[in-house]
Amino acid sequence: MVQIVSILITISRPNSHHTLPFTSLHHKNKKKKENIKRGCLSFDLFVVLVWFLCKDQWLEVELLVTLLMEKCSNTMLMENGRNPLLGKVLPLSIQPLEKLSTKFKLVHRRRLTKLWKAAKTAQKSWVKTPLWRRAELLHKAAAILKEHKAPIAECLVKEIAKPAKDAVTEVVRSGDLVSYCAEEGVRILGEGKFLVSDSFPGNDRTKYCLTSKIPLGVILAIPPFNYPVNLAVSKIAPALIAGNSLVLKPPTQGAVAALHMVHCFHLAGFPKGLISCVTGKGSEIGDFLTMHPAVNCISFTGGDTGISISKKAGMVPLQMELGGKDACIVLEDADLDLVAANIIKGGFSYSGQRCTAVKVVLVMESVADALVQKVKAKVAKLTVGPPENNCDITPVVSESSANYIEGLVLDAKQKGATFCQEYKREGNLIWPLLLDNVRPDMRIAWEEPFGPVLPGFKDSGIGSQGVTNSINMMTKVKSTVINLPSPTYTMG
């Protein structure tokens, strides 16, 4: 029986109907059969329609998310209204766009239990897939991901207020990362070790030992809102090339882009049940996911939530990429023009909402005033506004984030910090701000603002989720010992 569940994601000006090229295929019924052959559509599809209201005008963008439930197994999604799937709905409010009328489907625990079982079953078959075939499918997924960069980037713009040019870059870079992981995985996993027994005192060479890397099983991947595509594939690709199955819990804001990205992996031909995507509120389903006995490894990117996960997860391997207070250290002989340019890029890209952003500047007093003037001049040139206009500074992700940032700013002001610009905020939009003469007793000196505010003292980095580290984290060493009837030195 054909089952089509339509869920609306149309953003429109009155009396206007514009569609993305990727989604327009859905309306061409006469070409449906041809499109299905090409992998563009499925009879079992979900069309997601979301109404965004941006201040005083309607924007219309239609996004088609085909989840291929029969082919691709357990994927929860968003909907406007009711759905035959189990669970309740979660209202989603994306504050950068002022108003959003969308509801996410929360996954019922009974369905999650079935999902874990499906992931376990799929992994047992997937581990027997040749390494070259896993890499081949990852390359195919990377190509499909880059082919659909426009609609996915549109999701990033609308969901998390990412500047349009940066949104496209994130999708393309994600595809490149998947391909790179495929190649690196073949290199890492294609080799093992040969050990002999007479290296330990008192032993003869009566044993040989062969070691190789094998998958852990089911990986739970939890990416953050700021890079819901890139930091998701940095978990998905290593898990798959290593022979694991994966359950993705995308961020609430960024889930549409993540669902669209997962669909690209489904279109590439990965087996049913191997990659699942679960939407829902972390505070409600997070513990059930992270503490489930079927989970064999957790890869998490975020903030203090990682501490809570580590306390509850038990004896499960954890890969954590958490927050920090990354410093830019400026010495007396530094090229101040180069330093200023990199401070602007490192501190204010995507409004400072990056775990690798510059969070504080430590500068020698003899060059501090000159550097402040150079950075101040560059800050004045940053554009501020909506992400659709490719502005440098766009709204931060939520009202609570904006309130937190404002709290740090007001604390610094009360304690005597020098404001190099006037502090300005409209809703979730915070203008870029450079603070001078920051002292250790100010909150901004130690706490991560995750926004376009940069403190400086007188007197970005590579995370733990690189490809090699992720593959090593998501595998374990298997040893095979061969007992010999007598010592031999003709091998090894």
Whether 483 is covered by a domain: the verdict is no
CATH of the domain at 275: 3.40.605.10
Domain that holds residue 36: 5-321
- Domain assignment of residue 472, yes or no: no
Does the residue 74 lie in any domain?
yes
Q: Which residues of the chain have pLDDT under 50?
A: 1-104, 460-463
Residue-level pLDDT at 207 = 85
Give the pLDDT of residue 404: 96
Instruction: Give the pLDDT of residue 361.
Output: 93
Q: Clarify whether residues 44 and 108 are in a common domain.
A: yes
pLDDT at 281: 81
Same-domain status, 223 and 82: yes
For residue 486, the model assigns a pLDDT of 75
CATH number at residue 331: 3.40.309.10
Q: What is the model's pLDDT at position 108?
A: 63
pTM, 2 dp: 0.75
378 located within any domain: yes
273 and 224 in a common domain: yes
What is the pLDDT at residue 485? Answer: 76
Residues 384 and 284 in one domain: no
Q: Is 473 contained in some domain?
A: no
Of 321, 338, 368, the last residue of a domain is: 321
Q: With pLDDT > 90 as the criterion, what percentage of the chain qualifies?
A: 57
At which of 321, 344, 363 does a domain end? Answer: 321
Residues 51 and 165 in one domain: yes
User: Which one, of 107, 84, 79, lies nearest residue 9 by Cα?
Assistant: 79
- The rounded distance, in Å, linking the Cα atoms of 437 and 14 is 51
Domain assignment present for 202: yes
Q: Is 147 part of any domain? A: yes
Tell me: do 297 and 343 sit in the same domain: no
Q: So which residues are the catalytic ones?
A: 321, 355
> Can you say how many angstroms the Cα of residue 135 is from the centroid of all Cα atoms in its chain?
21
Residue 361 and residue 294 share a domain? no
